[in-house]
Structure 1
Amino acid sequence: MLSRYLLFLIVIAPFPAIAETGKPSYISPPPVISTESTLQMMGGLLLVLALIGGITWLLRRYSLIPTATAGVVKVVATTGVGQRERVVIVEIDNTWLVLGVAPGRVNKLHAMTKPTNEASVPISHGSSPSPVFAEQLNQSIKKENA
């Protein structure tokens, strides 16, 4: 019986040596569009869109986008007095209107004639236009009350 097993092992022994051990000749290339590259592209696109939206929001928030002055109405100055409230000076013809602007509502606070260029003091680098405007507004209010 031992001889049968020995004969069987001798016959089977050459089969692994005959088996093909070489590499296949065709290797498939890696995929061109992978999940990683698609996610990277989408992330970059979202980053650019968020950057554009953020810059636009900042420009609107701080009124850095110039508005076109067409027609008779011209915005002379504006300032924020609250989170959503603003005081706006609008020039119509030779009249300045001081308007209080809030969401869904615009109120006329004051009306005055447009100051002449000779009467206004030129603004230097260190001074702000607020004192000049405040003086003109006080003078105009005193004229109306008198």
Structure 2
Amino acid sequence: MAWPAFAEAVATPAAPGVPASAILQTALGLLAVIGVLFFAAYLLRRANGGRGFGASGPLRMVGGLMIGTRERIVVVEIEDTWIVVGLAPGQMRTLHTLPRGELPATSGAEGDFASRLAQMIGRKS
């Protein structure tokens, strides 16, 4: 919608007895409130170091693995330590503690699977 068409639509009263200025004032007020909310969210994210709203302090989740429908194993980093934690409904247990390391680079495991699958399909046909 082009700007002149929008201005014409706003200038036309929506209901009898409602002035166009009231509609325009309401629309501008709504835009101002939404703008303030976005600005506040930007400031909060910037103050938190770009980590979002839930992240705080030196705690960082390195990775995780779903074991069942409601069970997980998670690796959490706290400063120079990795903690392996088992999570289940209503339970959280430390499984292992180890010094901070590097995540292993993904070796061509996906490529190996693809080549083996191609070989197996080739054998059947």
TM over 0.5: no
Question: Higher relative CO (CA 8 A, sep ≥ 6), structure 1 or 2?
Answer: 2
Which one has the largest radius of gyration?
1
**Length-normalised TM-score, structure 2:** 0.41
